[in-house]
Amino acid sequence: MTTLCYAKKTCSIGIHVLMEEIGMPYDLRIVDFSKGEQKTPEYKALNPKGKVAALVRDDGSVLTEYAAIAMWLAMTHPEKKLMPTDAEGMARTLESMDFIVGTVHMLSWRLWRRPDAYSENPEEHDQLRARGKAAMMAALEVVDAQLEGKDFLMGDFSIADTALYYNEYWAADVAGWTLPKNVQAHFERMKTRPSVQASRVVEGVA
C-alpha cells in the first residue's frame, strides 16, 4: 500500500489533500519534527533529504518533492481530472504550482517562519520576518490576480490548488494574516472540500 510520510503543519498537508481527493487506500506515517524524526538514520534511509512529503509507492520506490508527487498522483489517476491533459494546460498548472512552492513558500514563508536559518544573530530576526511576510503577501497578490473571476487557479480544481491551500493555511491559520480577497475566497472554497476537511481533522484544526 502507498504510504505518505507526513508532518503536521508542513507542505505535506497539500499532498494529503490530494490523496484524499483521489480516494486510493494509503497509510499515513507521521514524521514528528518536534522530536527531530526527519533527521533520524531510519528516515534519512527512506528520504536522504530529510524532508516531507515523501511518498512510498507500492513497489517500495520513494518519490519526493511537492510538484513531482502531485503530478505523479494526477497522471496515474487521470479519471480524477486533477490537471489538464493538453500541453498548454499542463504547463500553466506547473507554472502556477512552481511559483507557489518556490516563491510563496520557500522564498517568503520560510523567511518569516525560520529567520534563524538565514541569520544566527537574533537581533536580525524581526527584520527577516518582516521581509518574509512582505514577500509572501506580494506573491499572494500575484496569485490573487490570477484567481480573478475564477473559483480555482486553472478554472477547474487542480493539483495547483492544493499547493495554494497549504500556503493559505499557513498565512491565515498559523500566522493570522489577512489574505487578499480572491485568495481568501479560494481558501474558504477549499475548506468546503471533503479532502481538505479530512486533512484538517489530522491537523487538529477542524
Separation CA 87–CA 54 (nearest Å): 27
63 and 100 fall within a common domain: no
* 203 located within any domain: no
Query: Of 56, 80, 104, which residue sits at a domain end?
Result: 80
Q: Residues 87, 88, 92, 95: is their CA dihedral positive or negative?
A: positive
One digit per residue, the tens of pLDDT, for the chain of length 206 reads 999 999 999 999 999 999 999 998 999 999 999 999 999 999 999 999 999 999 999 999 999 999 999 999 999 999 999 999 999 999 999 999 999 999 999 999 999 999 999 999 999 999 999 999 999 999 999 999 999 999 999 999 999 999 999 999 999 999 999 999 999 999 999 999 999 999 999 888 76
The total number of structural domains in the chain stands at 2
18 and 48 fall within a common domain: yes
Looking at residue 69, its pLDDT comes to 98
Looking at residue 195, its pLDDT comes to 97
CATH number assigned to the domain comprising residue 142: 1.20.1050.10
| 3-class SS of residue 28 | strand
Bridge partners, 55 (sequence order): 4, 63
74 and 114 fall within a common domain: no
Kind plus residue range of the DSSP H or E element containing 54: strand 54-56
135 and 74 fall within a common domain: no
99 and 43 fall within a common domain: no
Query: Of 80, 112, 137, which residue sits at a domain end?
Result: 80
The one-letter amino acid code at 83 reads M
Looking at residue 205, its pLDDT comes to 77
pTM of the model: 0.95
Domain span holding position 175: 87-193
Looking at residue 206, its pLDDT comes to 61
Residue 156: φ, ψ to 5°: -95, 155
